[in-house]
Amino acid sequence: MAITANVSLFKNDFVAELSDGRHIERHDWREMAEALFNAGVQASAVKYEWRAGQRMITAGQQVALRSEIRRQAVRHEGQSIAA
């Protein structure tokens, strides 16, 4: 079963709740993308849910986060083939 992540923004930090119960917090969206990729989350499995007391992630941040996860996957695939 694929791991999904619900990502939100709280006090300028990205916070992800994973479907397997783990929580990831990172200050930078690139760091969050890398952490999500390393946790086994695919770009298509990232969701954004706003809750009271949190800031909404902008559309640009959402696109950038998913794109970076995809970039990590391509980079990782290229390293696997080269090895």
In order, the DSSP letters of 16-55 are EEETTS-EEEESSHHHHHHHHHHTTEEEEEEEE---TTSB
Q: Is the pLDDT of residue 80 over 80?
A: no
Q: Which two tokens stand for residue 49?
A: 């849910």
Q: Is the pLDDT of residue 48 over 60?
A: yes
Residues 18-44 have a mean pLDDT of: 96
Number of compact structural domains in the chain: 1
**H or E segment at 9?**
strand 3-10
Convert 52-70 to b/e letters by CB count within 10 Å (16 or more is b). eeeeebeeebbeebbebbe
Q: Is the pLDDT of residue 82 over 60?
A: no
* Range from 8-12, 29-33, 78-82 that averages highest in pLDDT: 29-33
Q: What is the pLDDT of residue 8?
A: 93
Domain limits for position 35: 3-82
**H or E segment at 61?**
helix 59-82
